[in-house]
Chain A
């Protein structure tokens, strides 16, 4: 604050701030958007030859050994959440 006072008539320095916010936004893209987008991209490519294919979805959601875990997850999560309806002090 003390530093602000002498600048009363000082010439305005070029405002760098949009740069800073843009960098922050870019980092967020790199941290959040890019990885999630890559999941989408990866999911439609074959593990064997990297061709574009919906086969992964077909395999993941038709084979019973992959469907059972989904059922288990839902049961597990539902049962774990149930007792938390307990009132707290």
Chain B
């Protein structure tokens, strides 16, 4: 199929794009009266009004699905990589065409992965805060996460929020356990294909239609939204549309020079994300090491603890942090640490999973040699293990840094104006409908992210990302 690398890259790009930014862009595109797509429709057909309305449950579903499909993509494509080509080839030799082969051979083999991917998307969607807040409050529809947010508004009910959050946690935990079971069972099926050779599939004349289908999600999740965001960030008023006289760079000047709050938020985002990434990576390496070498009694529990935040929705984690660290004896609220530690916790599982798999593939001989020569455990760890893991550590660091930079759902509960990050400013700007500076900040945030991704790609090559994407 043409453009395989392109599709992988685009999928990764929609993976790193936070869905609240996508939701904002879709307001510009599909607000019932003023959305550009609706206006184009009205202009073309003369209909009294457009047919799209983003301020609906369906609208929110579409936006969330667009940004959560990369999870399914990651699961399914990793499963597909294990499907041996021989099985598909033998089906073909027996006279099956490719559609039939895919339907009868390939799909059953990856079905568990598909279901696991769908569960993953479900987990993401139910924990999602930004998109419902932007799209569903105007639609007068509430979901659990927006209701939790309202509990923290005046007159605030933090304890009621805690009670209300626990079932959400129960749902995510049980779904995660279900997903683990499915994956374990799935592995047995695909493991039979171990050692099989992968031969690229020839689609023949079907190439282009398949390519078109694969390109559809990126068009709606990336190309249209980023165009809308860019256009808005360069407009005096987005409602006027792309007409002459509406073009301005003022909002970038506003965000980068003029508005101190925005400038500070950018600095905070970068420094907090860096600190969170450092803490998470260090902690992940240490605990993964302790677990894999069984250095502590009950080391396995350490591993479970490090993976636990994976199933805790960001908003629930934030409520916990608020309950625990916004009052004496230990007050982190109001300091940068509140956000740093929350980010580090939230994305610790990514770093832990990465460190664990890297440690597992590490040869023990070198370590043992050093130990035999009398080097202490700590010294061996520092002088032997860490240098060997350098690449993986850097990759983990980045994979925590990137989501920390764009994290909204926990930041919204934990910041004070003195510690606001980019996403806080974006969320605050949305309340007044200040969409132009919001878009400019969003573009700046994503430029930072993609810049980093590009650097990482240069340093580590695509393989690291292809693999990490699954974490």
Q: Which of B21-29, B251-259, B265-273, B366-374 contacts A (4 or more CB under 8 A)?
A: B366-374
CA–CA, A81 to B136, complex, Å? Answer: 18
Q: Does B448 contact A (CB under 8 A)?
A: no
Interface contact A83-B376, CB-CB below 8 Å? no
Q: Which of B190-198, B304-312, B418-426, B427-435 contacts A (4 or more CB under 8 A)?
A: B304-312
| Stretch from B61-69, B390-398, B438-446, B455-463 that touches the partner | B61-69
B348 interface residue (CB < 8 Å to A): yes
The reply to whether A59 and B102 contact each other, CB–CB distance below 8 Å, is: no
Q: Whole-angstrom distance between the alpha carbons of A24 and B316 in the complex?
A: 23
A45 and B159 form a contact (CB under 8 A) = yes
Q: How far is the CA of A78 from the CA of B309 in the complex (A)?
A: 22
Q: Which residues of chain B are near A81, meaning CB under 8 Å?
A: 65, 68, 118-119, 121-122, 125
* CB–CB A72/B383 < 8 A: no
Indicate if the CB atoms of A84 and B77 lie closer than 8 Å.
Answer: no
Check if B308 sits within 8 Å of A32, measured CB to CB. yes
Number of interface residues of B (CB under 8 A): 95
Write the nearest CB–CB distance from A88 to chain B, whole angstroms: 5
Asked whether B166 lies within 8 Å of A75 as measured between CB atoms, the reply is no
List, in ascending order, chain A residues with CB within 8 A of B146's CB: 69
- List residues of chain A with CB under 8 Å of any chain B CB: 1, 3-5, 7-10, 12-13, 15-18, 20-22, 24-25, 27-29, 31-47, 56-57, 59-61, 65-66, 68-70, 72-89
Residues of B within 8 A of A (CB): 1, 4, 7, 57-58, 60-61, 64-65, 68-69, 71-73, 76-77, 80, 102, 106-107, 110, 114-115, 117-119, 121-126, 128, 132, 136, 141-147, 156-160, 162-169, 210, 214, 283, 286-287, 290, 295-296, 302, 305-306, 308-309, 312, 316-317, 319-321, 323-325, 341, 344-345, 348, 366, 369-370, 373-381, 383-384
